[in-house]
A = this chain, B = another copy of it.
Amino acid sequence: MNVETKPPRQKEGRKAREARILLAAEKVFAEAGFGGATMQLIADMADLPKASLHYYFPTKESLYRQVVEKIFHIWLRAADVFDSASGPAEGIAAYIDAKMELSRAYPAGSKVWASEVLHGAPVIQDYLETTLADWTEGRMKVIQAWIDEGRMTPVNPRHLLYMLWATTQHYADFSHQIETLNGGTPLSEADWAEAKRSVKQIILTGIGLEPPQP
């Protein structure tokens, strides 16, 4: 009988299938936006009948919401490097590195998040008001403390954070423009290294954590 194969295959199969759907959805939402994405396109990319999507995710919006929530939590976890740092130079450099790596590894996710915020955050407004607001306030206090201790140049912590977000996410969100300006080819390993080096050089120098070059 199939009594011993059924329970494990089903349970794992479901998780794996949901993950595959979420991955396909992330890609389609990133390419077409929420309005431009269709359940049919997502089903095709996940190699499933359209109706099966509605079994795992009752509505298009519920699927979209899970995609956005997944991105947000990956993004939050990367931000932890801020806390485990011993000082500003190390912490901010590590944060830039982590966010640049995220932009490189999950460009579709970053694009979905950007698109969501761009259009007024209709789905994850509550996250902005609670989790993100709390995280931002906490990090602003850390930066302000570093400034008060004289460990970095006095700058506005809020706008420093915005600059860090904008600059690092730009490499994911505008990857198409960047690739076009790169001769139509994706950034190489060396290109990414140079991008990270350039961003860190300008920002860290800008807030007094690296000596100005001669």
Surface stretch bound by B, among A13-21, A44-52, A171-179: A171-179
CB distance from A44 to the nearest CB of B (A): 17
Contact of A180 among B115, B125, B154 (CB under 8 A): B125
Contact between A213 and B115 (Cβ–Cβ < 8 Å)?
Answer: no
A128 (CB) vs chain B CBs: closest residue: B180
Residue numbers in B under 8 Å from A136 (CB-CB): 181
Q: If the complex has contacts A199-B159, A213-B154, are A177 and B128 also in contact, measured as CB distance less than 8 A?
A: yes
Residue numbers in B under 8 Å from A166 (CB-CB): 166-167, 169-170, 174
Contact between A129 and B213 (Cβ–Cβ < 8 Å)?
Answer: no
CA distance A132 to B177 in the complex (A): 9
Given contacts A121-B180, A160-B202, A201-B206, 15 further A-B contacts (CB under 8 A): A33-B33, A33-B35, A35-B36, A36-B36, A114-B173, A117-B173, A117-B176, A118-B174, A156-B197, A158-B181, A159-B199, A162-B171, A162-B195, A163-B202, A202-B207
CB distance from A212 to the nearest CB of B (A): 5
A203 at the interface (CB under 8 A from B): yes
Number of interface residues of A (CB under 8 A): 60
Contact of A203 among B132, B181, B197, B206 (CB under 8 A): B206
A154 (CB) vs chain B CBs: closest residue: B213
Contact of A33 among B36, B159, B194 (CB under 8 A): B36
A34 at the interface (CB under 8 A from B): yes
